[in-house]
């Protein structure tokens, strides 16, 4: 046995390897990314590992493994499940042979996500089981248990950690000598593997019956458990996920309240809950995102005529949005107990704090691309449809170049919509290279087919930067450790039938502005590929130098907002620890007072 201090996501990875997983697929997304990154780093002989181009693809690749009896793991962030929901819904009806665990990481807050959706509710919608770990230690156990339940009941199973579980660290003990679990291979049987209305009807009935059985099975599962149980106790707290950890800590001072963890929210372990709630008059449900368990307990009360008062999000005892914490849980419990206690404030009259929003790095090529478009389109009516990635940060002042951001790939298609409602304006889409492969391609096809007049700017920085620099089809490297042919974005566009395709280095300011102006004068679908690597994947150049000519007019600061240009004792100065010598500021300085960094 080996003991390691690892992140929750690594614990999930090690758990899956220990369970003999054969195929692992996923698409990066905070807070789930490090699961696949961990598997890549540790020994994983005979495992097929891939960053798929998006979550739907990942789910489908893994499905064949599951049909063949092999164990598979699919990873994504919560919004990834929206993309993968089409295959998953159908797969829930068809079922699996080899264990299939889908890790979907939720992000209460949200801290790094578009939505605060609740994957437990999604699992219920799909009618498949979901495990909800409260800690990295539990996540390690649960991923292995999830494979067993998946095989026992022939269903895909979701493991739903939240950010604080994914990014928490703990000591995990595991057997280093894991190996792929042997599997039979695909056995053809079209009555089983081909979804048809008849099959769906039959399986739907089967699934509803089966879920009752799973609920009963879960009633004896070790992470559905009661602590602090006392015969005298009339009040209980039910907590799920990391809220269970918070409640455990909050209740250290109060051992009179029964604490119940529900580790498998769906199918509900009804018998377990009925027993745990015996003799209880009042119950407080503490959870994040939706009042999922709370509503389930209310349903239970109705079904079994329980005399039980249920408190939680529906009664304003727990916040409806955002994260929980030990404090918020203490507040909820105090309110539940009728204790009137205000939070102590230790520090008063705190001075105004500087706001620190995330920004594009010093020297980020996205800044240059946005600025070129801004200058080229000055005083012209334009729409700037952004998308998801580091370049979403182009919305911040002073660039202010992102008018919309909806979902991955949405910018390319939204720019077309704007073009159809306002022919006078020029519609732009900005999309990163990884996002282009994930879900931008179909949008370009749509633009060509439906004759949109748009300029699509592909910000090709040769990586998936926002989520921590993962490779993608355009980088020429995959997770099997192989160098492969790069998928050439320009050729792909040619194949689709885009007539105007320009590739330009965004750090060449004049050439970039000219490219945008040229494209703006042509009708049809135009694509500008702004090609320059993310600064995190290349060696920096020497910093630029401000010469005597600089009169601190602050034009560079006001136009670019590069964090390496700072004010020092009333003068404009360079933070040499941040500047990577991209030379953008030198090209726009009206007095030519910045000495360019020479490429070594």
Ligand X SMILES: Cc1ncc(C[n+]2csc(CCOP(=O)(O)OP(=O)(O)O)c2C)c(N)n1
Residues forming contacts to ligand SF4 in the complex (CB under 6 A) are 360-364, 366, 390, 461, 465, 534-536, 543-544, 560, 562, 564-565, 574, 579-585
Q: Does 466 bind other proteins (CB under 8 A)?
A: yes
Residue 180 or 399 with smaller CB distance to other proteins: 399
Q: State the greatest distance between any 2 C-alpha atoms of the chain, in Å, as a whole number.
A: 83
The DSSP element (H or E) to which 600 belongs, if any, is none
Q: Name which of 500, 573, 582, 478 is nearest 540 in CA terms.
A: 582
The site partner of 583 among ligand X, other proteins, ligand SF4, none (C-beta below 5 to 8 Å per kind) is: ligand SF4
Q: Does 467 bind ligand X (CB under 6 A)?
A: yes
Residue 2 or 549 with smaller CB distance to ligand SF4: 549
Out of 35, 83, 250, 502, the only residue in the binding site for ligand X (CB under 6 A) is 83
Q: Does 474 bind ligand X (CB under 6 A)?
A: no
Q: What's the CA gap between 55 and 43, in Å, rounded? A: 24
Long-range contacts of 351-359 (CB under 8 A, 24+ apart): 357/396, 358/393, 359/393, 359/396, 359/561, 359/563
CB 193, CB 63: distance < 8 Å: no
Q: Does 391 bind ligand X (CB under 6 A)?
A: yes
Mark 84-113 with x for binding to other proteins (rule: CB under 8 A) and - for no binding: ---------------------------xx-
CB 151, CB 167: distance < 8 Å: no
Stretch that binds ligand X, among 168-176, 228-236, 265-273, 384-392 (CB under 6 A): 384-392
Mark 126-145 with x for binding to other proteins (rule: CB under 8 A) and - for no binding: ---------x----------
Q: What's the CA gap between 519 and 511, in Å, rounded? A: 12
Find the shortest distance in angstroms from Cβ 460 to other proteins.
19
The site partner of 77 among other proteins, ligand X, ligand SF4, none (C-beta below 5 to 8 Å per kind) is: ligand X
Find the shortest distance in angstroms from Cβ 59 to other proteins.
23
Burial class (CB in 10 A: 0-12, 13-18, 19+), 77: buried
Mark 29-48 with x for binding to ligand X (rule: CB under 6 A) and - for no binding: x-------------------
- Write down the residue that tokens 């007072």 correspond to: 593
The site partner of 321 among ligand X, ligand SF4, other proteins, none (C-beta below 5 to 8 Å per kind) is: none
Find the shortest distance in angstroms from Cβ 349 to ligand SF4.
36
Alpha helices in 377-508 (DSSP H): 410-421, 433-435, 441-449, 489-496
DSSP β-ladder status, 258-261 and 225-227: antiparallel
Q: Name which of 328, 221, 322 is nearest 264 in CA terms.
A: 221
Q: Does 365 bind ligand X (CB under 6 A)?
A: no
Q: Does 312 bind ligand X (CB under 6 A)?
A: no
Mind giving me the DSSP string for 23-56? EEEE---TTTTHHHHHHHHS--TT-EEEE-SSHH
Find the shortest distance in angstroms from Cβ 465 to ligand SF4.
4
Q: Does 456 bind ligand X (CB under 6 A)?
A: no
Residue 4 or 575 with smaller CB distance to ligand SF4: 575
Q: Does 389 bind ligand X (CB under 6 A)?
A: yes
CB 516, CB 455: distance < 8 Å: yes
Q: How many residues does the chain have?
A: 600
Find the shortest distance in angstroms from Cβ 76 to other proteins.
15
Helix (H, G, I), strand (E, B) or coil at 413: helix
User: What DSSP character marks residue 439?
Assistant: I
Phi, psi of 347 (to 5 degrees): -120, 125
User: What DSSP character marks residue 470?
Assistant: B
The β-bridge partners of 295 are: none
Q: Does 444 bind ligand X (CB under 6 A)?
A: no
Burial class (CB in 10 A: 0-12, 13-18, 19+), 415: buried
Q: Which tokens sit at 192?
A: 């089983």
Residue 259 or 388 with smaller CB distance to ligand X: 388
Phi, psi of 353 (to 5 degrees): -95, 140
The site partner of 464 among other proteins, ligand SF4, ligand X, none (C-beta below 5 to 8 Å per kind) is: ligand X
Angstrom CA distances, 567 to 201, 427, 500, 557, 583, stand at 69, 36, 42, 9, 19
Stretch that binds ligand X, among 21-29, 115-123, 521-529, 575-583 (CB under 6 A): 21-29
User: What DSSP character marks residue 66?
Assistant: H
Q: Does 78 bind other proteins (CB under 8 A)?
A: no
Query: Binding-site residue total for ligand X (CB under 6 A)?
Result: 23
DSSP β-ladder status, 100-105 and 157-159: parallel
Rg of the chain on CA atoms, in Å: 27
Stretch that binds ligand X, among 323-331, 414-422, 458-466, 518-526 (CB under 6 A): 458-466
Neighbouring CB atoms inside 10 A of 105's CB total 30
Q: What's the CA gap between 416 and 182, in Å, rounded? A: 50
Q: Does 563 bind other proteins (CB under 8 A)?
A: yes
Out of 230, 511, 567, 590, the only residue in the binding site for other proteins (CB under 8 A) is 567
The site partner of 369 among other proteins, ligand SF4, ligand X, none (C-beta below 5 to 8 Å per kind) is: none
Find the shortest distance in angstroms from Cβ 230 to ligand X.
46
The β-bridge partners of 383 are: 427
Residue 277 or 408 with smaller CB distance to ligand X: 408
Q: Does 351 bind other proteins (CB under 8 A)?
A: yes
Query: Binding-site residue total for other proteins (CB under 8 A)?
Result: 55
Give the count of alpha carbons within 13 A of 596, CB side only. 12
Stretch that binds ligand X, among 56-64, 210-218, 352-360, 460-468 (CB under 6 A): 460-468
The site partner of 566 among ligand SF4, ligand X, other proteins, none (C-beta below 5 to 8 Å per kind) is: other proteins
Stretch that binds ligand X, among 9-17, 93-101, 333-341, 429-437 (CB under 6 A): 429-437
Out of 170, 293, 368, 489, the only residue in the binding site for other proteins (CB under 8 A) is 170
Cβ-proximal residue to ligand X, closest one: 432
CB 433, CB 489: distance < 8 Å: yes
Query: What residues make contact with ligand X under the rule CB under 6 A?
Result: 27-29, 77, 79-80, 83, 388-391, 408, 432-435, 459, 461, 463-467
Residues that bind other proteins (CB under 8 A): 5, 7, 30-31, 34, 111-112, 135, 164-165, 167-171, 242, 245-246, 248-249, 252, 325-327, 343-344, 346-347, 350-351, 353-361, 390, 393, 396-398, 466, 468, 554, 557-558, 561, 563, 565-567, 577
């Amino acid at each position: 046995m080996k003991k390691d201090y690892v992140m929750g996501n690594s614990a999930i990875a090690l758990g899956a390897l220990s369970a003999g997983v054969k195929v692992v697929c996923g698409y990066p997304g905070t807070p789930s990314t490090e699961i696949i990154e961990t598997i890549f780093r540790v020994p994983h002989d005979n495992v097929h590992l891939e960053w798929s181009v998006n979550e739907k693809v990942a789910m489908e690749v893994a499905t064949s493994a599951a049909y063949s009896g092999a164990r598979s793991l699919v990873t994504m962030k919560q919004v990834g499940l929206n993309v993968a929901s089409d295959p998953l819904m159908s797969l829930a009806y068809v079922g699996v042979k080899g264990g299939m665990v889908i890790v979907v990481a939720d992000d209460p807050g949200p801290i790094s996500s578009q939505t605060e959706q609740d994957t437990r509710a999604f699992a219920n919608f799909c009618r498949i089981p979901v495990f909800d770990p409260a800690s990295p230690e539990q996540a390690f156990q649960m991923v292995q248990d999830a494979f067993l339940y998946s095989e026992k009941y022939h269903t895909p199973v979701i493991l739903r950690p939240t950010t604080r579980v994914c990014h928490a660290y703990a000591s995990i003990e595991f057997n280093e000598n894991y190996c792929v679990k042997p599997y039979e291979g695909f056995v053809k049987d079209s009555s089983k593997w081909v979804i048809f209305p008849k099959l769906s009807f039959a399986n739907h009935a089967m699934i509803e019956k089966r879920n009752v059985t799973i609920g009963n099975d879960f009633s004896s599962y070790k992470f559905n458990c009661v602590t602090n149980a006392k015969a005298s106790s009339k009040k209980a707290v039910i907590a799920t996920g990391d809220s269970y950890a918070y409640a455990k800590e909050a209740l250290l001072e109060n051992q009179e309240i029964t604490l119940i963890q529900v580790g498998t929210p769906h199918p509900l372990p009804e018998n377990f809950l009925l027993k745990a709630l015996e003799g209880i008059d009042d119950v407080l449900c503490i959870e994040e995102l939706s009042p999922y368990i709370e509503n389930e307990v209310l349903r239970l009360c109705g079904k079994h005529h329980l005399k039980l008062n249920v408190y939680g999000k529906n009664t304003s005892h727990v916040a409806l949005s955002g994260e929980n914490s030990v404090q918020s849980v203490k507040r909820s419990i105090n309110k539940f107990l009728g204790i009137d206690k205000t939070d102590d404030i230790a520090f008063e009259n705190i001075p105004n704090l500087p706001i620190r929003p995330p920004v594009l790095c010093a020297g980020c090529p996205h800044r240059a691309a946005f600025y070129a478009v801004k200058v080229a389109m000055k005083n012209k009516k334009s729409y700037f449809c952004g998308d998801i990635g580091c370049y979403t940060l182009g919305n911040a002042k002073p660039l202010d170049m992102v008018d919309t951001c909806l979902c991955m790939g949405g910018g390319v298609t939204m720019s077309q919509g704007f073009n159809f409602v306002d022919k006078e304006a020029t519609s732009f889409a900005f999309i990163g290279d990884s996002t282009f492969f994930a879900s931008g391609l179909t949008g370009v096809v749509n633009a060509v087919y439906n004759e949109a007049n748009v300029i699509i700017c592909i910000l090709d920085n040769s990586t998936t930067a926002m989520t921590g620099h993962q490779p993608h089809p355009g980088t020429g490297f995959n997770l099997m450790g192989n160098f492969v042919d790069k998928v050439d974005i320009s050729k792909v566009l040619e194949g689709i039938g885009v007539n105007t395709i320009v590739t330009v280095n965004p750090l060449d300011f004049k050439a970039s502005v000219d490219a945008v102006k040229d494209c703006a004068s042509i009708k049809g679908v135009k694509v500008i590929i702004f090609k320059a690597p993310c600064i995190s994947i290349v060696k920096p150049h020497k910093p630029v130098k401000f010469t005597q000519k600089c009169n601190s007019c602050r034009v560079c600061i006001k136009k670019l907002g590069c964090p390496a240009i700072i004010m020092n004792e009333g003068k404009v100065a360079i933070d040499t620890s941040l500047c990577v010598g991209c030379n953008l500021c030198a090209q726009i300085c009206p007095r030519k007072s910045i000495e360019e960094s020479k490429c070594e």
